[in-house]
Copies of this chain bind each other. A is one copy, B any other.
Amino acid sequence: MGRKRITPGKVRLTEVAALAGVSPITVSRFFRNPDTVSAGRRLRIESAAKDLGYVPNLAARALASQRTEVIGVLIPSLTNNVFSDVLRGIYDAFEGSRYSIQLANTRYSVLQEERLLRLFLMQKPAGLIVTGVDQTAEGRAITQAADCPVVQIMELGPDPIDMMIGFSHVDACYTAISHLLAQGCRRIGFLGARMDPRVQRRLQGYQNAMKNAGLFDPRLIVTTAVPTSTTMGGNLFSDLMLKAPDIDAVFCANDDLALGVLFECQRRHIAVPEQLAIVGFNDMEFMAAAVPTLTSVRTNRYEMGLRAATMIMDEIEGRPVTERVVDLGFEVMERQSSTMQRSATARPAQADRASGTKW
């Protein structure tokens, strides 16, 4: 004969309604949209709820309303600090709201991403934040089919699923290389690890810049599929020195690599920037503290997370989102490692000892 559950001092909508002298549905309305309830009842309900210590049951709400208040966030890595900045922005934006964040790690795999997308979507999330623009066709399709706001973050692309916020990695790298060219560098190496889609777009920007300058040489490019690390920066740089000992600058697809290159230069007594200029990407905090200070491309990661979250909430709550594709831009932070007063002649880096070491 069914369950005979005893629900002792449980506080439900009904209890609040009884105390406030209204119907349960009115209490429900009060919690979802106070404005639809007349002022008098509003006050009575409010105090009744407080007196009883009422806490809404989210599972019941989700079941009855057929939707959840979960925001799904898909990022490729939990270790890469680039994403922790974005995440902080997202969490800060949703802090105190009724939405809760469901975070998942795609590990840079589009297949994993599609699987997780599917997993999230079957729970009918209130919104979705996904990294990058390289979802599988299937993943795009099911995401588009789900009618919830979606923001793609970290980069820009021609065909947003819904909304988009990021910057052009191609342009960012192109600009960084242009800066090196303006400093008189001619043999500029490219170091990249992991080679996820965003790093590949940076490589594209590098190639564009070098080809435009008539300086492209495939031997200047050294990459690996292995995840990035400082140690890897040193290793990649060592490889590069074997392939192209005459380099006068290195662009690193991220700052960890750049730090590794700096250390390797110290090990090899290569003067930075006199013999070799270094430029990184992301502008992590340590770049400005290094000796010499390291040039990098600043990206607005915290703001990206913050605004992505805001766009989602605006969309959900019916506030029109006019800017559906937001370019957050970037800035080349020119520091000691790439700025020099010198002639535009190439000076190879293959020295065994530094002559005018600054550090």
- Interface flag for A145 (CB, 8 Å): no
Please tell me if the beta carbons of A68 and B59 are within 8 angstroms of each other in the complex: yes
Residue interface mask A147-160, B partner, CB < 8 A = 1: 00000000000000
List residues 49-91 of chain A with CB under 8 A from any CB of chain B. Answer: 55, 57-60, 62-63, 68, 78-79, 81, 84-85, 87-88, 91
The CA-CA distance from A104 to B266 in the complex, in Å, is 41
Among B87, B263, B359, which residue has its beta carbon within 8 angstroms of that of A290? B263
The CA-CA distance from A324 to B229 in the complex, in Å, is 35
The CA-CA distance from A57 to B95 in the complex, in Å, is 26
Inside 8 A of A285's CB, which chain B residues have their CB? 229-231, 256
How near does chain B come to A71, taking the closest CB pair, in angstroms?
12
How near does chain B come to A88, taking the closest CB pair, in angstroms?
4
Please tell me if the beta carbons of B100 and A102 are within 8 angstroms of each other in the complex: yes
The CA-CA distance from A231 to B229 in the complex, in Å, is 20
* Chain A contact residue count (CB 8 A cutoff): 43
Residue interface mask A112-132, B partner, CB < 8 A = 1: 000000000011000000000
- Interface flag for A321 (CB, 8 Å): no
- Interface flag for A243 (CB, 8 Å): no
Among B84, B231, B288, which residue has its beta carbon within 8 angstroms of that of A288? B231
The CA-CA distance from A105 to B91 in the complex, in Å, is 8
Inside 8 A of A91's CB, which chain B residues have their CB? 78, 103-105
- Interface flag for A205 (CB, 8 Å): no
Inside 8 A of A79's CB, which chain B residues have their CB? 81, 84-85, 88
The CA-CA distance from A88 to B350 in the complex, in Å, is 40
Residue interface mask A204-236, B partner, CB < 8 A = 1: 000000000000000000000000011101100
Please tell me if the beta carbons of A55 and B267 are within 8 angstroms of each other in the complex: no
Inside 8 A of A290's CB, which chain B residues have their CB? 230, 263
Can you name 15 A-B pairs with beta carbons within 8 Å?
A59-B59, A59-B68, A78-B84, A78-B87, A78-B88, A79-B85, A79-B88, A84-B84, A88-B105, A91-B103, A102-B102, A230-B289, A231-B286, A263-B291, A266-B291
Which residues of A does B touch, CB under 8 Å? 55, 57-60, 62-63, 68, 78-79, 81, 84-85, 87-88, 91, 95, 100-105, 122-123, 229-231, 233-234, 256, 259-260, 263, 266-267, 285-286, 288-291, 359
Known contacts A62-B62, A229-B289, A233-B289, then 19 further A-B pairs from the complex at CB < 8 Å, ordered by chain A residue: A58-B123, A63-B63, A78-B87, A78-B88, A79-B84, A81-B84, A95-B105, A101-B102, A102-B102, A230-B286, A230-B289, A230-B290, A231-B285, A231-B286, A231-B289, A259-B286, A260-B286, A266-B359, A359-B359
